[in-house]
Structure 1
Amino acid sequence: MPSPQPPTPEEKFADAKKLLGLPRIVVICGSTRFMAEMAEADLRETAAGKIVVKPGCDLKSPHGLWADPAEAEALKSRLDELHRAKIRLADEVLVVGDYIGDSTRAEIAYARALGRPVRFTHPEVDPGA
């Protein structure tokens, strides 16, 4: 009889969230052109009792942290990795907006590969539909 496999880090994390009694965690994805819509989605999801994580920087808006083009490119790479970590943390994904660009498309594929449910504010833009 084969010995049971030890739980994966993902399984351990899911169990820890249950033991801690944490609410569901939703990560908001989408183009930063929809930052206002993301804020509204954050409000609604929070009011529904969920923990919300979303993009924290809008590189399309001027700011000293990304004024230098070389630093902006390095920051974008770090932010992309950070957002993938947010997707791993979350129980579900909410895609905001009526446009899906390459970055958001990649985030949706990543979330689905991890088995995360993906919802859309505009279901007609679902690349998997």
Structure 2
Amino acid sequence: MSHPQPLAPEEKLADAKRRLGLPQIVVICGSTRFMPEMGEADLRETAAGKIVVKPGCDLKSPHGLWSDPAGAEALKLRLDDLHRAKIRLADEALVVGDYIGDSTRAEIAYARSLGKPVRFTHPEVDPDA
């Protein structure tokens, strides 16, 4: 008699999202220099009926939360971990902007390593195209 294999965490998450009837979740990726464009992408994806997660902090813009250089570096590491969690949660990634730096390139590679579809607002910048 065979026993069913236990579900992997990713399969459990997908099953839970399906059972809850959640809409598709899209994570917005890209350089924070494109924060206004990310806001526009958020609006369009939300209007299309999707749940949107995106970067919430722009460390390149002045703010008291990251005014201390040592604290800012620690925050950046935590935000990078948080963004990878957003990628794991999402069903797909949308890369915003016409520039791909090292961080965004790593986000794309991570999403693809998880089997997530990756779309681009500027397809010509896809590093794998």
Q: TM-score if structure 1 supplies the norm length? A: 0.97
State the partner residue of 2:76.
Answer: 76
For 2:7, the aligned partner's letter is: P
Where 1:27 maps in the other structure, the secondary structure is strand
Report the alpha carbon displacement of residue 4 of structure 1 after superposing the two structures with TM: 3.4
Instruction: Give 5+ residue unaligned stretches, structure 1.
Output: none
- Secondary structure of 1:4 counterpart: coil
* Partner residue, 2:26: 26
1:103 equivalent in structure 2 = 103
Tell me the distance in 1 between the aligned counterparts of 2:35 and 2:47: 18
Q: CA RMSD in A?
A: 0.9
Count of residues in Structure 1 that have an aligned counterpart in Structure 2: 129
Q: Mapping of 1:115-126 within 5 angstroms?
A: 115-126=115-126
Amino acid at match of 1:90: A
TM-score by length of 2: 0.97
Q: Please tell me the residue identity of whatever aligns with 1:87.
A: I
Amino acid at match of 2:74: A
Match in the other structure for 2:87: 87
CA distance in 2, matches of 1:126, 1:25: 21
In structure 1, give the amino acid aligned to 2:57: C
